[in-house]
Amino acid sequence: MKKIFTTLVLVAAFAAVGFAQPRAIGGRLGVSEEFSYQHSITDMMYVDLTAGVGPLWSTWGAVDVNASFDWSFNIKGIWNWFVGPTAGVGFGYGTAYRYYSNSPYYNSPYYDGPYMPFRLNVGGQIGFEWQFNIPLNLTVDWRPTVNVMSFTNPYYKHWTGLYNFGVGLRYRFH
């Protein structure tokens, strides 16, 4: 899985460098470790695509791909804030996604079906951005998401990213 993720990151990085400007590539650390690619539509709008794996430190995790359409507003000088809708798909792994007939949750009213690691989610993103004099951005954001279609664990069924706070660092191409 690490080889596949590394290959995807490298392909996306080289593709991002090859396109016309303005764009940004980088990473985001939060609930998962993500590669990020931003593409400006106008001075105030951009699309942010992320691909991530995580959390690697837990008994559950996912491989996720998310897209957000963000509007950016200047606060003062190098400070901006942004907000927009997100959508994503993911595939879960780990013990939190597995239920068997001998599971204590099998007869629970929350248990409503077989193991389903695939999920589809929607949500939003809001955050702050610092644009340094060098071509780097530092972001702090919150990206809560709700599962539209998800796995059947009663604790993780609907809210996949209620606590999805993150810090990102991106290199801007101008």
The domain spans of the chain are 25-173
CATH, range 25-173: 2.40.160.20
Stretch 111-128: mean pLDDT, rounded? 76
Average per-residue pLDDT in the chain?
Answer: 77
Task: Give me the pLDDT at residue 83, please.
Answer: 96
Q: Where are the alpha helices (DSSP H) in 19-112?
A: none
- Asked if the model's pLDDT at residue 112 lies above 60, the reply is no
Q: Which amino acid, one-letter code, is at 174?
A: H
In which band, very low, low, confident or very high, does the pLDDT at 26 lie, cut at 50, 70 and 90? Answer: very high
Q: Which candidate, 33, 98, 95, 25, places its Cα nearest to that of 60? A: 95
For residue 12, the surrounding DSSP H or E stretch is helix 2-18
CA-derived radius of gyration, the chain: 18
Task: Give me the pLDDT at residue 76, please.
Answer: 87
What is the pTM (predicted TM-score) of this model? Answer: 0.71
State the pairing for strand pair 45-54/79-94.
Answer: unpaired
Q: Which candidate, 22, 62, 57, 18, places its Cα nearest to that of 43? A: 22
